[in-house]
Structure 1
């Protein structure tokens, strides 16, 4: 699988764009520098979770991004795939954009899966979001000093300049670890900061410097077409991988990911602009960038409801789903499964390598889309007949999954990017209250209750909290199991009885009713007396 770094990005760029343009759909996967949010809860609405993520991702980055372009060939009735793995780092230009925050858990996770940090840091591809683009263009036009990393070169040049005669030349080797754009910037910086020097490109890692007269310098500066070209090259190099993302936005191809919500948030933040505070606005914005998105995590959750228990995959993780369709029962569930051709050797590759994961995601999407296209809703079974293969069945079978994004362990089952989210999933709320003024042992309580069903806890104070239970059939069992506990009580939550505001409303209602009755009674008494 092609690994794309700053060293081979330019030479592969045209082929990458050509593959994306020809694709029937494009799948993607991201690896992050930090694990942002893990404390998902049944109490979370999509807006709650989005805002929590938004506040935590400012300094985390997508450091590896995989793209797989799947193209359908009608003559062979098969899909062909080309995958790429991109290593990404922010440009070393000015302090606000040159930081990457990592956390230990994420580093350990990436190391476990053999992530190459040297390749990332030495050869990562630059990128900019829209705000940074404006700043960089301004810096290049104004001739601002970009970085402090040229001091060693300035020292060599100054020492040579003092004794050099007009016409003398200095061959300046450039550290090959420098990005191409940094070499171009050095050309501009030398010409600006040394009044009697001019630079020429000699070889890829060498700059030729000549001492000239002031009149020669003025003539060279007048003919500034070369400097315009250099500035364009600088900006193009710094823009880097953002050119690919801009192309994806322009192409409007269907995008496929596995559990893609976090990927969409990070991609938008990193390549397009600041994350809006409004969850609704984020959905609108990301839908403009990628109008058609499919989430294979959502698709596989839905497909589970169509197949028997013996036919399902072990887990909803990508590796389990891929093994199911590549080597397991998924290969035999329906006839004439579409063929996916990829000429890369994945034998020694591991999951959580972004290019491989993007390929596996697209592979599973094709298999599931075909099964959905065979589903007979009336008969509640798959029509085991050959469907004429074309790219149309791919999206016809998954029509109702378009722009539906998996929402794990939350108030609703999914996020819908181009419409309102579905209603909340009904929950049963239980209230847990401590006895004898003793603090609740929340960990101990959850350890016991989660033996029976999945629950989430929301603390109200040290002495009471709410339990959210999604499986209604388990509520009676929980109440029965914990009815005689000495440390705490568990009851079905009632807003009017257990909520502070509910009690206030009831008290006000009772007081109002009592006042009305009293006034009416007094009127009756006065009438009788008169």
Structure 2
């Protein structure tokens, strides 16, 4: 696994580009500074796809990515193996121009990353910058207007700048045209400060020109008006190149993201809905208000997305012998699929060779390592499904495109946790809900009141539940599976405090009751009119 920081990004980029352009498929994983921005963003079993997108959008806009892992898989059919190149990118937004991103840190997420030995120093000191399209456009405007450093004014010591200007003002009357002097600036000054000092001196004194010597020190030269004009013309030409270099440097990881969108090969992740929303917001453009617009855009960016969480969930009954239902997370799924018993089920399972890898990099919840686990799990599932009904004597090494045809039904289906639907479809209509019917709860005695936390305490012992209060005497309960719903209805039948039954919209919803009564009134009125016309 190659750890990529802002210090080695430029050197490694050609290798990253080649790995992406030659891959059969790519797996990804991300780590971020928070998961749920506030209580209104918490997932609920009552959430529709649109509601979940709105919640995730709000959280993603307030947090940032701190790490992204990419593993490219290139197959060799003749040797029945895949070469996996893993890159672990440290990411940290940087200020430049008027672009000065802000983001939140969620204590639980930071504690989680600390538990798995996340290197916060490397993140903050060596993180690669990134921009979306809107930020890139604003940066170019700032550079055109000569405002490249507004976001980093903290690097500049105003008292020091005044001292430098005083030094130049005292030297200038004694200098002849062509004379130069080095400005006394400490070597440990930030690079951005050096450029600001240089630009500011040039603006304040029309008889001089400034430049940086090979050692990064500011040199002031006295020039005549004609030479000054020629130098400014020359600078404007070279400044365009300098601005492009600045933009390229600030784009950082966005360059890798744009490579991913160009190759149009399968992108694989595990429970990756939030990963996709983060990538859209941070590397593409601000998230749209419309959920359908987000789906359309995402499908254009990545036309072939596979979610191993959704695939494993969908196959847990069809491939019950694999024990996939026991996989609580990505590491569990990888361990199950790579257990000796499953390895012996199908012959000719392709091997995976890891390039540039050392043993101490196998750390769960490092984005690069998780991306590798995800890609390997996807490959193993593809092989098991492809040869599921094939005689062992006919099993042979096959190209990745053959695997891809086998799992095509799972393409662009992305898992959703704790919602009305268990997945979303990025290139089509939303799937129907597979959740059990809602449960209606009401008090038995008119003088009693329902307490949401008490209901949670009663019902959660049978499984995952969410509660919505209709009023003080009625509530609706959503359950994660049919067994939980069945057990709650059965166990609370004849309860002395509450009455539990299946929820019926027309009977239990205040809106449903109004619509139902209105329909009756309208129907009755129509009948009366028809009868009157008949009598006439």
TM-score scaled by length of structure 2: 0.88
CA contact (8 A) 2:161 2:197 kept: no
Displacement of 1:145:
5.2
Displacement of 1:48 in angstroms is 1.2
More divergent stretch after superposition (352-361 vs 464-473): 464-473
Name the residue aligned to 1:149: 154
CA distance, structure 2, for counterparts of residue 519 and residue 136 of structure 1: 69
What is residue 44 of structure 1 aligned with on the other side? 47
Q: Is the 8 A contact 1:129 1:272 kept in 2?
A: yes
Q: Determine the structure 2 residue equivalent to 1:287.
A: 299
Q: Establish whether residue 417 from structure 1 lines up as the match of residue 430 from structure 2.
A: no
The residue aligned with 1:341 is 353
What is aligned with 1:236?
Answer: 248
Q: Which moved more, 1:473-482 or 1:348-357?
A: 473-482
Does 1:25 pair with 2:36? Answer: no
> What do the CA deviations read for 1:34-69 (whole angstroms, capped 9, x no partner)?
112773333221111001211232221111111111
Q: Is the 8 A contact 1:169 1:209 kept in 2?
A: yes
CA distance change for structure 1 residues 318 and 177 in 2, over 3 Å: closer, same or farther? Answer: farther
Distance in 2, Cα, partners of 1:499 & 1:197: 77
Q: 2:368 aligns with which of 336, 341, 355?
A: 355
Match of 1:167 in 2: 180
Q: Does the Cα contact within 8 Å between 1:185 and 1:234 map onto a contact in 2? A: no
* Aligned partner (choices 227, 230, 235) of residue 219 of structure 1: 230
Deviation for aligned residue 1:382: 8.2
Offset of residue 129 of structure 1: 0.7
Distance in 2, Cα, partners of 1:26 & 1:174: 44
Mapping 1:361-440, distance limit 5 Å: 361-376=374-389, 385-425=394-434, 427-434=436-443, 435-440=445-450
Q: Distance in 1 between matches of 2:442 and 2:452?
A: 11
Greater shift after overlay, 471-480 or 118-127?
471-480
CA change 1:201–1:229 in 2 (3 A) is farther
2:333 pairs with 1:321: yes
The alpha carbon displacement at 1:238 in A equals 1.4
Task: Select the residue among 49, 58, 62 that pairs with 2:65.
Answer: 62
Residues 431, 254 of structure 1: alpha-carbon distance in 2 compared, 3 angstrom cutoff? same
Cα contact 1:313–1:324 (8 A) shared by 2: no
Distance 1:222 1:339 in 2: 60
Deviation at 1:154, TM superposition (A): 2.8
**Aligned-residue offset at 1:142:** 1.6
Are positions 1:139 and 2:142 aligned together?
yes
The answer to whether the aligner puts 1:247 opposite 2:259 as a matched pair is yes
For structure 1, which segment, 431-440 or 105-114, has the greater mean C-alpha deviation from structure 2 after superposition? Answer: 431-440
Change over 3 Å in CA distance of 1:174–1:131 after alignment to 2: farther
TM-score, normalized by length of structure 1?
Answer: 0.88
Aligned residues: 518
Q: Distance in 1 between matches of 2:341 and 2:409?
A: 25
Query: Which digits, 9 at most, give the CA deviation of each residue in 1:261-293, with x for residues without a partner?
Result: 101101000111111111111000011111111
Aligned mate of 2:460, from 442, 450, 468 = 450
Match for residue 74 of structure 1?
77
1:268-287 aligned at under 5 Å gives the runs: 268-287=280-299
Structure 1 CA distance for aligned equivalents of residues 362 and 205 of structure 2: 51
Q: Could you tell me whether the CA contact under 8 Å between 1:191 and 1:199 is conserved in 2? A: no
RMSD between superposed Cα atoms in Å:
3.0
Pairing 1:263–2:275 present: yes
Question: Using the alignment, how far apart are the partners of 1:503 and 1:323 within structure 2?
Answer: 52
1:491 aligns with 2:501: yes
Q: Which stretches in structure 2 are left out of the alignment for 5+ residues?
A: none
Q: Which residue of 2 aligns with 1:15?
A: 15
Mapped contact 2:97–2:142 kept (Cα < 8 A): no
Contact 1:68 1:81 in 2 (8 A): yes
Contact 1:198 1:217 in 2 (8 A): no
Task: Show the 5 A alignment for 1:109-148.
Answer: 109-144=112-147, 146-147=149-150, 148=153
- Unaligned 5+ runs, structure 1: none
Report the Cα offset of residue 28 of structure 1. 1.0
Rounded Cα–Cα distance in structure 2 between residues aligned with 1:521 and 1:233: 83
Aligned pair 1:97/2:100, yes or no? yes
Q: Secondary structure at the match of 2:461?
A: coil
Deviation at 1:420, TM superposition (A): 1.2
**1:223–1:330 CA distance, 2 compared to 1 (3 A):** same
3-state SS, counterpart of residue 326 of structure 2: coil
Distance 1:516 1:213 in 2: 95
Deviations 1:12-39, CA, capped at 9 Å, x for gaps: 1111111111111111111111112773
1:467 matched residue in structure 2: 477
